[in-house]
Every structure is written in C-alpha cells, then in structure tokens.
Amino acid sequence: MFQEAVNHYLQFHGYNRLQLKAVLFDMDGVLFNSMPYHADAWHKVMERHGLHLSREEAYLHEGRTGAATINIVYQRQYGQDATPEMIENIYAEKSIEFNSHPDAERMPGAWEVLQKIKADGLTPMVVTGSGQRSLLDRLSHNFPGMFRSELMVTAFDVKYGKPNPEPYLMALQKGGLKPNEAIVIENAPLGVQAGAAAGIFTIAVNTGPIDGQVLLDAGANVLFPSMQAFCDNWENLRDCMSLPIAGYTTQI
C-alpha cells in the first residue's frame, strides 16, 4: 500500500521517482510529546480572557503563529481583530503557562527512527513554527548528533507560518534539495497542508486527538497512528520510495 501512495505522488507531480536525501521533521507532537502541554496552556489562558478555545481545537491550530491563533479566536467571538497589546499579553501568558509544565519527553519511536534514518545516510532536519531560543539545546540534549543548526527552520527564519509552504520551501533551500528529494513528517493538519503545498511527499503521524481523516484531507500521502508505527514501518516505506510504483493515498 505504500507503493500505491508513492506512485500517486509521483504521477501527480510528474516525477519519475523519489530520490530521498533528507527527512523534514516537525517538532511539537512529532519529536516531542509536547502538544498536550500546548493545548492545556492555550485553553486555560484563553478562558482567563473570556475566549473559548478547547484543548481539542488547539490541535487544529498547531503550526500557526501564536498571534494568528489568538486573532482567529477573537474574531470568531467579537467580529473584530484583537489589539496588538492584547495579542502580546495573551501570548506572554500562554508561554508562562506552557513553561510551568515539565519538559516534554521524546515522542515514543522518534529517537529510534532517527537512528534508522541517519544509518541510511539521510539527513534529518527540523522545520518548526516554534520560536524557542533554547530549541537547539533541547534538540541536542534529547537527540544528540541528529540535527545541524544551519539546516533548522524555526519561526525566526520565515515570514509566514504553516499552512503556508514557506517553512518547507525554506528547508529545501537550506538543504539544497528538490521537492522529490525529501519527505515531511507532520502531526497537524496545518503542517500537512504546508508540506503538501511545497510539493513534498508528506507523512502524517496522528499523535493527537483529532480524526485521522482530517490529516488525509489536508493532503497527507500516508497516515500512521503514531511515531512508533512510522518507526516500525520505516524499512518498508523506505524501500517503496526507491522505486516508481503504482497506487493511491493510503492509511494503516
């Protein structure tokens, strides 16, 4: 079934084959099990300000800038934009609330699949909407030797966040890659949209509470129920990507 998904991608984009050189990872919800903390922080802080954003809905906004998330919710309730001061205050409170949680642990399967990817001679890269200054230290501590700082794309590198394809187009540029020389690993609909819009084969890992069909509808070529499942199927998927083969979008 992986072969069908690969061939559907190749036919749609007019490529003869995938020539895989790099794997582009989102961070929150893919490498780190941090989304429950983000969702909880968003929900609590929004409620303090009379705004309604459930923990479940927070997953649907993952990948947006904090300002955009706040403004969408504010517009929905009040029919007008939030002021810059309000956005700044709410986001500052959200950051404090998020940082009150313990450090998020590695997502199960993430370290193992990174080791496999590295052993296959491929380059792992991080493409995140996060603007955490401690990001590199955190990645270096939890995933030693895996990521190169000059190949990372963060909130500081781009003007537009996901679902705009700019973050993944920037990753291709930094890595000297063509779209068919990389794959994207994402857990959020907006991130999947960004990867697909950049013309890259996009794999969704459903590590949150949303319906997996939402990720397929966003443009995922393949859907896994977890990072562990992605890790367990890596060899089969990698082998399928080395050939031009028949198929369509698939789910396991």
Distance in angstroms (rounded) separating the CA atoms of residues 113 and 232 = 8
Task: Answer whether 0.75 is exceeded by the pTM.
Answer: yes
Residues 146-193 pLDDT 10s: 999 899 998 888 888 899 999 999 999 999 999 999 999 999 999 999
Q: What is the DSSP string of 80-111?
A: SPPPHHHHHHHHHHHHHHHHTSPPPPBPTTHH
Residues 48-98 pLDDT 10s: 999 999 999 999 998 888 888 999 999 999 999 999 999 999 999 998 999
Contacts of 227 (CB under 8 A, 6+ apart): 30, 107, 108, 109, 110, 113, 205, 207
20 in Cβ contact with 10 (< 8 Å): no
Distance in angstroms (rounded) separating the CA atoms of residues 116 and 101 = 31
Q: Domains, the chain, ranges and CATH?
A: 2-34+106-251 (3.40.50.1000), 35-99 (1.10.150.240)
Task: Tell which residue, 235, 215, 217, has the closest CA to residue 225.
Answer: 215
97 in Cβ contact with 113 (< 8 Å): no
